[in-house]
Every structure is written in structure tokens, then in C-alpha cells.
Structure 1
Amino acid sequence: MEAKEVEETRIESDLIGTREIPASALYGVQTLRGIENFPISKFHLNEYPLFINGLAITKMAAAMANHELELLTKEQKEAIVTACQEILDGKHHEQFPIDMIQGGAGTTTNMNANEVIANRALEIMGHQRGEYQYCSPNDHVNCAQSTNDAYPTAIHIGMYYSHLRFLPHLQALIDAFHQKGKEFAHIIKMGRTQLEDAVPMTLGQTFNGFASILEDEIRHLNEAAEDFLTVNMGATAIGTGICAEPGYAEKCVAALGKITQLPFRLSKDLVGATSDTSCLVGYASALKRVAVKLNKICNDLRLLASGPRCGLGEFNLPAMQPGSSIMPGKVNPVIPEVMNQICYKVIGNELCVTMSGEAAQMELNAMEPVMAQCCFESVDLMINGLDTLRTRCVEGITANAEHCKTYVHNSIGIVTALNPVIGYKNSTKIAKEALETGKSVYDLVLEHDILSKEELDTILSPENMLHPVKLDIHPKK
């Protein structure tokens, strides 16, 4: 039996003691302790690249500001900036293996970034990993910083980029609904309130309605995301700026703007800002609004496509997979169903964010790690769900036009559309007779010679269902 090759290690120490670190690891002893202390979930930092990028941008800006204040040498600054740029280019992300959910208000995440950047900077400078006398995770990469300003700033940056990534996927679904609105604009159907027949409309209006209620949310999302551009860099531990030099905060935030080309601004009150996580609460709430509306839309898709013989059957969802292990021929609305579940998860994440936001104590909110995890996860879930709903459901929907028309002609509800023309007395008479005999309102109006078929079809034409109209039609009776 071959002997297992022993991996080389290096020794690092911290407040607790010394540990062996894999020689191949860019991270150090504090990251290792975080790996050991928080085997909590399957949500690891290396699965959230925009958060890692936020950490790299934060550390890059800090290095630029500290060099300007002569706290870092040119060599140290350039090595740190180069290491951060490599991370932004997608390198070294596997060196961030820690759990997103952790105690310590994000210290493990901050130190993971500090250690990876310091060790890579050491290599760039021609030194060995762990030779921290030349570039230290704490003294140089974390210079003039605390977890309590660097960590939330990185979250803000990562979440703002997540927001920018999210919007095109939402817009693509909106466009797909609008496209179906145009395609189905000529198809008359029955509108329903409280699951009961209401008044006629077009199938196109149904799909344009789906698009419009989602479109309204883009403004709310943008407003919520705007708060991420305000950061507390320079606050250090509690907002007093201890361990930072005068002017550092302003120089660091200016560097953030230079790196990202985004209008980052410094919080007006760093003490208040350091314990305030309301921007995460606000964005989670904005995502919840989208989830609530998507849930309604998916429920409608399932109801209106129900059947194929014993449901509403106004349109057909694409058949994606067999629906039963026992019922031959059954096909389920699996795509709207999975979107429903995503919506429930996003709504649940919002509750977690809200409760965690309320848990701030004194000058810090130690629950920020789970808030960040929930927000990043919700965006990822929504993006995957939106694309799946669009490509595997909405774009393939086909209408059952004649079936929709039959519903209208057989509905008592069309008497409401006729009421302005034939009058309340005639409408009541027709509705009552339709209920008693089972005949359709459409047929009874013709049978009683109240309107001609041409006049009746004009009133119920799709173009007259789109908006209020004045028709020059007069009943015979």
C-alpha cells in the first residue's frame, strides 16, 4: 500500500496560539480558525464572487489612501493593489472557503481577505507566504481599518453590483410578458375577481398586466440599491475613526469612486452608520415586493392554464416533463411551481434580514453575516428563477383563443359590459334568465332581439375591451 503524500505546511500564530497552515494556501491562521469554528452551512464565501470582489475593491481603496498618507510604501501599495486586481480578474477565489454564516460580525471574512491579499502581495514582492514582516494582513492590508467598516463596505459594493446584475434578468422577463401581450391582443377572454366571472378583457391585457406590475418594481429596487453607495469607511471600530489618520476616510471613499466609477459617498455620521444595516433591510424588502408579485403571476399562470380538460385552460404552458409516476399523460406546471418556491425562500430571507437588522446592539450589528448571506442568496435565486420562468415557460405559452371566447359568450359577467348600452333593466332581465335557464347571455340578447349580432360583437370586440369607449349603439328594446 502506497504511503499517502504528506502536504507541506507552514506555521502561523495568532492570539490563540500557533497552527500549521497548508503551504499551498494563501489564507492564514485566522481563516483556518474560521473554517474550524463555523461548519454551519453550505453557503461559502467562494460561491459569492461579487462579495469577494467587494472585499478586493475595499482593500485596494484602503491601500491607495494609506499610501497617499505615507502609511504604506510604494512597493507594499502596488503589491496589494496587484493582488486585489487579480481577485477582481477572477483569480484566487478558491482561497475564500469560509462559511458565510459566522460569529464575530464578519471578522473571519475580513481576515480571510486580509490574509489572501497579504500572502499574494508577499509573492509579488518576492517573499514567501507567511513572511508578514514585509506585508502583514493586519498592519498593512488592514491598515486604518476595522472589520466594522471594511466588511459592511464590501457588502455594499457586492450588493450594488448584484443589483446591477439582477436588473437585466428582470427586464428580460418583463419584455417576454409584453411580447405575449402583443401576441394575444386580439383574444377576448373573461376577467375574474374573487375567482368569479367579472367582465370581458383580452388575454393580451392579462400578460401586459403581469409585465406592468413587475416594471413598477424597477424604481423601488433602484431606490433601495442607491443606499449601498453610502459607506462608513474610516469609521474603524465604532465610528470614531480610531487608528485612522485625519483625511483617511475621505481619501478612501474617493479611491472607491476612482476604482469603480460609481458615486460612493461617506456616511454623515460614522457612529450611527456603523451599527445601521437598514440598507440591507431595504433591499431585501424591495426583493420581497418582486417575489410577492411573481408569486401572484405564477399562481395565475397555473390556474389559467389548468386542465387540460377539467380546468380553465385559457392557454397552454410548455410541457417540460412527465407529471406523475402513476398517472399516464399528466403534465404539471413545474416551472411556475419552482418559481413559487423561490419566491417563498426570498420572502423568508427578507424576514431573517429584518429580524437581524433589529438585533443591532450599541455601536454594532453582529448579525450582519447572515443578512449578507440572505441578500446575496436571494438575488442569485431570483436571477435563476427569472431566467427559468422566461425561457422554459413564458416564451412558449400558446393561447386557446376559441376556448377563451366560449367562456365570454357563456358567462353571466358579460352583461356588465352590455349594461351601458342595453340598460340596467334589460341587463337584469337577461342575467336572471341566463341563471334560470343555463342559456348564455350572448344567445339571450340575440334571442330577445335586443341587439344585432354585429352590434353585440362590436361591444365585445377586443379593441373595445382595451380601454373606456363610447359606442353609438342603441338597443331595439
Structure 2
Amino acid sequence: MPYRTERDVLGKVKIDSSSYYGSETKRAIDNFPVSGITVSPDFIHYYALIKKAAAKANLKSGKLSQERASAIIKAAEEVASGKFADQFPVDVFQAGAGTSTNMNLNEVIANRAIELLGGRKGDYKKVHPNDHVNMSQSTNDTYHAAMRVAANATMRRNLIPALKALAATFQKKAAEFRNVVKIGRTHLQDAVPITLGDEMSGYYGAIEYAIEGLEQSLAQLSELPLGGTAVGTGINISKDYKANVIRELSAITRIKFKPARHMYATMQQEYAELAASNAIKTAAITLGKIANDIRLLGSGPRAGLNELILPPVQPGSSIMPGKINPSMAEMLNMVCFEVYGNACTIEQACSGGQLELNVFMPIIAFDMLYSIKILSNAVNAFNSRCARGIKANTKAINANLERNLSLATALSPYIGYAKAADIAAKAYREGKTVKEVCLAEGIMPKQELDRILNPKNLV
């Protein structure tokens, strides 16, 4: 295979001549054959946009020539478009802080810029990965910024819209089922009546709260440490670089970013990432509870609650003919479990930093973006393949409601708690309804019982 030889501080490195990456990427490939999982394409996309914004800022300050800046900007745009997706093979589990990924970007962009200027890959006199593509930057501030930009953008673009769509579905279901009175349940035991619409409105409201939590986390994710370079001091940057790079990035992404209020805290801590991860986890916990409810309410069809009819999407058993499972809710549950695990990893990584830097940014970035991706996709699938098609099984709902012993609660203001409890217990022992026991004991006239025990009057 044809190859070129590059030299770095550790010596010579042979690289496939067709590769756009250079020596540091090749060393990372050799050093970290861990999972076979590479850095998220979304992360590479937004990191490339940071390189583009940096080149524009360095051009404006006069540190970068027009020729080099134009080539770097064009190359960064191509990387952001996904054109060189196969040139980012570094494993997620790599050297701390993400230096390998930053240099992977620097090398690919440099070598593509060299080509655009008519040179050959590896001719770093034309465009150098460190001196030109990485100008005014460090892995420590740019990787940190890329995490925040990617999480901010993908939550805005994918997760929040998916949750809003699901919330809207449950809002419609709340209206559709507003007159369907059913038995309520607490402790998995029969409780006073509720409407199926009220139950669905609870799901709608819970998702709205989860969305609010995500939107609140965007404020901290919008503060970027760009210009802090290695430890927050801003060594090797021009006076106007920090403001310019933020301005350029905001224009490129169409998201309003701003410089970190507390640069050293932002470099040392992952507070914004932790807050965002917790908001994502909270959304997953909310969705997991809803999925559990849907599975319970749809259980059966003969021996379960059977109050909801869920859209059948696929056969449920390889041995039991005709069995249909709540497959979409089960899928959503499993995705939520994965998000919980990712959040735990992020918490541990956030607590693991030392002194001026948390070196565990690569796993924080990957797990956060992975959670956003799978939760967004799962919510969209669950919404389209399950939630929108939910129907009420009114026959089962009415049968359950008629046998509800907790209707005795409505009698308490008239005959007292103790007497109402006796009636409920007797109805259970004798297999009768509360109304039947009341009529047998002459508690009050039938007309009055019909009014007091009418489930529609109790909701």
C-alpha cells in the first residue's frame, strides 16, 4: 500500500497516502483499539464549525492570511458536511481531554486545505495542523465548547421537538377521552374514579415539565470557554479573538452563544454538561413511567387490565400464535434504561476532574450525545407507532368501574368513614357492588344512591 511518512515529537509515522489524517491520529488508532465505536458524527460536525469560526476570527485579527484562512474555512465546511466521515476513526475511549479527536480534525482539515491550495497531503508548510488550523485554540477549550454546542444544537433540533410532538399527542388523547370515566388506581389497587382523559393529561403535563428542564439547561450550554486555550488564561490569542470567535460561531450555527462568565470554572468543571445530562435523565424517567403505565393499561387481553387497545406492530411470540406485545413501550423503556446508565457515567466523569481540567470530556460528550440521539429517535417511534393509535376499551373500562369498591368513598360524607369501609368490605366478601350492598341494607333510597355513586359525578 502506498504510504507517506510524517514526523512528530516521538519520531516517524507511516500513514496510508490516501488518508487525510496525520501522525497523531495514526498513533491514536494504534493506541486505542478499544470499542470500535468512533466519535459521534454530530460532534465532528459541530467541532468542524468551531474550526471554521476560529479561522474567521484569526483572519479578522490578522493572524491568519486570507489564502490560508479561505482554504481552512472551505475544508472545515466540507468536514462539517460529512464529506470525510471515514477519516475520523479514533475510538471514543481515547487519551484524556480529547486531544486525539482535536488533532484528527486539525490534520484532516489541514490536509484538505493543502489540496485546495494545490499541494500534497503532508506538506504542512502550506497549512499546518497546529500552527494554522489550531491557531488560538487548545483541545481544552475547543473540545469543551464542541460538547456544549453539539448538545445544545441536537437538543434544540431533535429531542425537544420529539418531546413536544409526543406531548401534543397526549394532549389530543386527553380531549378525545375526556368523557371516558374509569377506575383510578393507587398502590396498584382500586381507587376513586378518574377519566381516561385526565390520566392522559397527566402524561402531557409530565412531558411539558421535562421539556422545561431541558430548555433551562440550554442557557448554561450556551456559555462557551473558547479563547481560554490551555488553562483558561487565553495564552496565544489576540485581544479580540474571544469575542470574534463566539460571534462567528453564533452566526454559523444560528444559535446565540456567549463567552463563559467564569472562564476558570468552565474549564475546570462540567456543570453545564451535568445539568443537561440530569435534564435528559429526568425526561427519560418521565417517559419510562409513561411507558410502564401504557403497558399496564394495555395488558391482557383476557387476564390483564385491558383498558387500552394499543396498535399491533408485530407478532409478539415465536411460539404462542396470535400473541401481540406492547413492543413500542418496551423499546422506549429499554432506551430509558440506557439513558440512566449514560447519566451515571457522566456523573462519575464529571466528578473525576483534577485542578485546571477535567480530562474525561470524551466519554461525557459521547454519552450525552448518544442519549440525546436514542431518546429522540425512540420518542418519535413511540409517538408514531403507538401513542397516536391508542384507543379506549370502553367495555373493559365500564366493567371495571362497575365493580369499583372505592366508590364507597363517596358515601363517607353521608354515613361516615367507618360505615363506608364496612360496606366496601362486605361488597368484596360477597362479590357484590357497593350499590347492591347499600340497597340491601337500606342505607338510603335508590335515587339518592344513583346520584351519589354516579362515577361521572365523582370526577
| TM norm. shorter chain > 0.5 | yes
2:90 corresponding residue in structure 1 = 98
> How far 1:289 sits from its partner (Å)?
0.6
**SS of equivalent residue, structure 2 residue 96:** coil
Distance 1:13 1:458, change over 3 A: farther
Amino acid aligned to 1:296? K
1:207-255, Cα deviation, whole Å (9 max, x unpaired): 1111111111111101112211101111111111122232322222222
> Any residues of structure 2 matched to 1:263-278 within 5 Å, and which?
263-278=256-271
> How far 1:169 sits from its partner (Å)?
0.8
> Any residues of structure 2 matched to 1:40-55 within 5 Å, and which?
40-45=34-39, 48-55=40-47
Residues 121 and 135 in structure 1, CA contact (< 8 A), matched pair in contact too: yes
2:23 corresponding residue in structure 1 = 29
> How far 1:260 sits from its partner (Å)?
2.4
Amino acid aligned to 1:96? F
2:77 corresponding residue in structure 1 = 85
> Any residues of structure 2 matched to 1:14-413 within 5 Å, and which?
14-45=8-39, 48-164=40-156, 165-413=158-406
Question: Is structure 2 residue 427 aligned with structure 1 residue 434?
Answer: yes
Residues 409 and 442 in structure 1, CA contact (< 8 A), matched pair in contact too: no
1:123-180, Cα deviation, whole Å (9 max, x unpaired): 2222222111011110000011110011111111111111112111111111122222
Q: How many residues align?
A: 457
**SS of equivalent residue, structure 2 residue 14:** strand
> How far 1:270 sits from its partner (Å)?
2.2
- Comparing 401-410 with 438-447, which one deviates more in the overlay? 438-447
> How far 1:22 sits from its partner (Å)?
2.0
2:4 corresponding residue in structure 1 = 10
- What is the CA–CA distance in structure 2 between the aligned matches of 1:368 and 1:425, rounded to whole Å? 61
Residues 43 and 373 in structure 1, CA contact (< 8 A), matched pair in contact too: no
- Comparing 188-197 with 269-278, which one deviates more in the overlay? 269-278
Question: Is structure 2 residue 410 aligned with structure 1 residue 417?
Answer: yes
- What is the CA–CA distance in structure 1 between the aligned matches of 2:85 and 2:445, rounded to whole Å? 73
Residues 39 and 99 in structure 1, CA contact (< 8 A), matched pair in contact too: yes
- Amino-acid identity (%): 38
Amino acid aligned to 1:41? S
1:249-287, Cα deviation, whole Å (9 max, x unpaired): 222222222322322111233222212111111111111
> How far 1:386 sits from its partner (Å)?
0.6
> How far 1:50 sits from its partner (Å)?
2.2
- What is the CA–CA distance in structure 2 between the aligned matches of 1:374 and 1:465, rounded to whole Å? 47
Distance 1:409 1:71, change over 3 A: same
> How far 1:118 sits from its partner (Å)?
0.9
> How far 1:336 sits from its partner (Å)?
1.3
Distance 1:422 1:90, change over 3 A: farther
1:11-33, Cα deviation, whole Å (9 max, x unpaired): 22211222222222221111111
Residues 50 and 161 in structure 1, CA contact (< 8 A), matched pair in contact too: no
- What is the CA–CA distance in structure 2 between the aligned matches of 1:32 and 1:387, rounded to whole Å? 38
**SS of equivalent residue, structure 1 residue 106:** helix
Amino acid aligned to 2:99? T
Residues 27 and 95 in structure 1, CA contact (< 8 A), matched pair in contact too: yes
- What is the CA–CA distance in structure 1 between the aligned matches of 2:346 and 2:143, rounded to whole Å? 17
- What is the CA–CA distance in structure 2 between the aligned matches of 1:102 and 1:438, rounded to whole Å? 66
> How far 1:58 sits from its partner (Å)?
1.0
What TM-score, normalized to structure 1?
Answer: 0.91
What TM-score, normalized to structure 2?
Answer: 0.94
> How far 1:101 sits from its partner (Å)?
2.3
- What is the CA–CA distance in structure 2 between the aligned matches of 1:418 and 1:185, rounded to whole Å? 25
Amino acid aligned to 2:130? N
Distance 1:318 1:282, change over 3 A: same
Amino acid aligned to 2:113? A
> How far 1:356 sits from its partner (Å)?
0.4
> How far 1:354 sits from its partner (Å)?
0.5
Residues 167 and 218 in structure 1, CA contact (< 8 A), matched pair in contact too: yes
Residues 435 and 449 in structure 2, CA contact (< 8 A), matched pair in contact too: no
**SS of equivalent residue, structure 1 residue 132:** coil
Name structure 1 gaps, 5 residues minimum.
1-5, 467-477
Amino acid aligned to 2:71? A
Amino acid aligned to 1:145? Q
> How far 1:42 sits from its partner (Å)?
3.8
- What is the CA–CA distance in structure 2 between the aligned matches of 1:269 and 1:135, rounded to whole Å? 33
- Comparing 150-159 with 23-32, which one deviates more in the overlay? 23-32
> How far 1:454 sits from its partner (Å)?
8.7
Distance 1:19 1:340, change over 3 A: same
Residues 409 and 441 in structure 1, CA contact (< 8 A), matched pair in contact too: no
